[in-house]
């Protein structure tokens, strides 16, 4: 096999030697062109591979960044849920007493109050109390809101608020307002009792 290859190489050399100078130049140029095309082709493949790897790396980095953001949001939501669960006791807050105490601390009077229909959820129940106040200042309203939502033992929120402007009090040098608020608190939902199914007697 080695002798056959050697014979072919010798034949190729003889063929080249028999060529005219012009034919040799043409063959040399063709070989250079082929070599250049091979180099360019290999370079293009390498460049394409590097470009694809770079795109994949960029996509991977973006995906990891998105996962990190989602993880942070998930952990924050989980912490809020855990804190909310700890803050909501089994026994509900007596809203009438709580709201009266908050109003007296600010020095305002509750003119009317009425219970709001409870809202039952799968995990928590919401209880509300609607209150109406008259001749308040904006400072008193702000203090009352802070007082109402400052409980350390229960979750209390002002879930609705409507403010009406009355007139400018020249003695107090301030605007007087009327306000209607819905103060809400929460308790853990009581487990629902399953009704016993009536079975058939087997004979």
Residue spans of alpha helices (H) in 88-197: 95-106, 138-148
Mention every residue, 6+ apart, whose C-beta is less than 8 A from residue 139.
174
Answer with the residue of higher pLDDT: 59 or 177: 177
| Cβ proximity of 188 and 89 under 8 Å | yes
Mention every residue, 6+ apart, whose C-beta is less than 8 A from residue 169.
137, 175, 176
Q: How many C-alpha atoms does 77 have within 13 Å on its Cβ side?
A: 6
Domain of 147, in residue numbers:
95-188
- Say yes or no: 101 and 26 in one domain: no
Answer with the residue of higher pLDDT: 186 or 5: 186
Strand partners, 185: 127, 156
Mean pLDDT of 99-126: 90
Q: What is the pLDDT of residues 165-195, one digit of tens each?
A: 776 656 666 678 899 999 999 888 776 655 5
Model pTM? 0.52
* Residue in 120, 118, 95 with CA at minimum distance from that of residue 181: 95
Mean pLDDT of 94-99: 94
- Say yes or no: 78 and 103 in one domain: no
Does 200 reside within a domain? Answer: no
pLDDT at residue 199 tops 60: no
- Say yes or no: 68 and 120 in one domain: no
- Say yes or no: 99 and 71 in one domain: no
Does 111 reside within a domain? Answer: yes
Answer with the residue of higher pLDDT: 54 or 178: 178
Does 196 reside within a domain? Answer: no
Q: How many domains does the chain have?
A: 2
| Cβ proximity of 182 and 159 under 8 Å | yes
Q: Which of helix, strand or coil describes residue 156?
A: strand
pLDDT at residue 71 tops 60: no
Residue 125: count of CB within 10 angstroms of its CB: 17
């Amino acid at each position: 096999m080695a002798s056959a290859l050697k014979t072919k190489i010798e034949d190729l050399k003889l063929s080249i030697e028999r060529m005219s100078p012009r034919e040799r130049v043409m063959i040399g140029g063709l070989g250079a062109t082929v070599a250049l095309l091979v180099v360019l082709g290999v370079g293009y493949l390498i460049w394409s591979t590097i470009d694809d790897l770079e795109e994949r790396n960029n996509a991977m980095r973006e995906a990891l960044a998105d996962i990190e953001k989602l993880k942070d949001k998930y952990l924050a939501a989980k912490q809020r849920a855990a804190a909310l669960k700890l803050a909501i006791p089994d026994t509900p807050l007596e809203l009438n007493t709580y709201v009266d105490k908050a109003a007296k601390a600010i020095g305002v009077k509750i003119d009317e109050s009425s219970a709001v229909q409870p809202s039952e959820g799968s995990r928590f129940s919401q209880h509300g109390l609607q209150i109406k106040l008259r001749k308040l200042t904006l400072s008193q309203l702000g203090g009352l809101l802070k007082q109402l939502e400052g409980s350390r033992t229960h979750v209390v929120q002002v879930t609705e608020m409507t403010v009406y402007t009355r007139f400018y009090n020249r003695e107090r040098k301030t605007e007087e307002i009327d306000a209607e608020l819905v103060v809400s608190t929460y308790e853990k939902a009581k487990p629902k009792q399953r009704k016993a199914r009536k079975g058939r007697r087997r004979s």
